[in-house]
Amino acid sequence: MMTDDMLVALYLEGNNKAFDILLNRHKDRLYSYIYFIVRSRDVAEDIFQETFVKAIVTLQQGKYNSDGKFSAWLTRIAHNLVIDQFRLERNENVISNDESEVDLFNNSAYSEGTIESRMVNQQVLKDVRRLIDLLPDNQREVVYMRYYQALSFKEIAAITGVSINTALGRVRYAIMNLRRMAEEKNISLMLEEV
C-alpha cells in the first residue's frame, strides 16, 4: 500500500489514477467532517468538491508541502471553505469564547490513555449527539474533531488555525454548554470536566 505522499508524487508525474486512489482513501472521512459541520447535503457536496479542486490546483502549482499529513492538509482546505461558507450565510450573532485565555495543559482530564477517560469519551459520543447541533459553530467543530475523529488538540489547533489553548478552551466551553443545555432539557449526560 502506497503512502499519500507517494501517491501525490505519482500524480504530479502525470498518473491520474494515483489521485483517484487518494480521493477514494479520504473521501468518506472528509465528507463526514464537512457534513457534520454544515448540516446540509447540498452544501457539503459543494464544499467537498471544491476541496478537491483546490487540492488539485495546489498540487499542480507545486505548492503542496509534504511535511504534514495529506489528510490533515485536505481537512484544513475543507475547514477554510466551511468558514467561508458560514461567513456568507451568517446573519446571526455568534457568542465567541476566543477572548478567554485558559491554560489547561496540566489538567488530568486530558490523559488520553486512562480507561476512565476512554469510558467517559465513549459516553460523550452517545449523549452529545442530541445536543451538539445547538452549540456555536466553533465549539461544534472542535467537539466533532476531538470526540468523533479522535484528533489531538495539536491537530485540532493546526486544522482550525488557532492556538492549542484556544482549541482546549473551545472544547471546555462546549462541554460546559452541553452540560447546561442537558440540565435545561433534563437530559442526563456524563461529560468529561475540562
Which CATH number covers residue 144? 1.10.10.10
Segments forming the whole domain that contains residue 29: 4-89
C-alpha cell at 60: 499542480
Give residue 101's pLDDT band: very low, low, confident or very high (50, 70, 90). Answer: very low
Q: How far apart are CA 50 and CA 91, in angstroms?
A: 23
Average pLDDT (177-189) is 75
Which CATH number covers residue 30? 1.10.1740.10
Q: Is the per-residue pLDDT at 93 higher than 50?
A: no
Interhelix angle 153-160/70-89, nearest 10 degrees: 50
Grid cell 509534504 in the structure block, residue: 66
Which residue, of 54, 89, 124, is where some domain finishes? 89
Contacts of 158 (CB under 8 A, 6+ apart): 68, 72, 76
Lowest mean pLDDT among 91-100, 124-133, 156-165: 91-100
**Helix (H/G/I), strand (E/B), else coil: 188:** coil
Rounded to the nearest integer, the mean pLDDT of the chain is 79
Give residue 94's pLDDT band: very low, low, confident or very high (50, 70, 90). Answer: very low
The number of distinct structural domains making up the chain is 2
C-alpha cell at 108: 488530568
pLDDT for res 110: 43
Interhelix angle 16-38/70-89, nearest 10 degrees: 40
Q: How far apart are CA 13 and CA 146, in angstroms?
A: 36
Residue 22 within a domain: yes
Q: Is the per-residue pLDDT at 117 higher than 60?
A: no
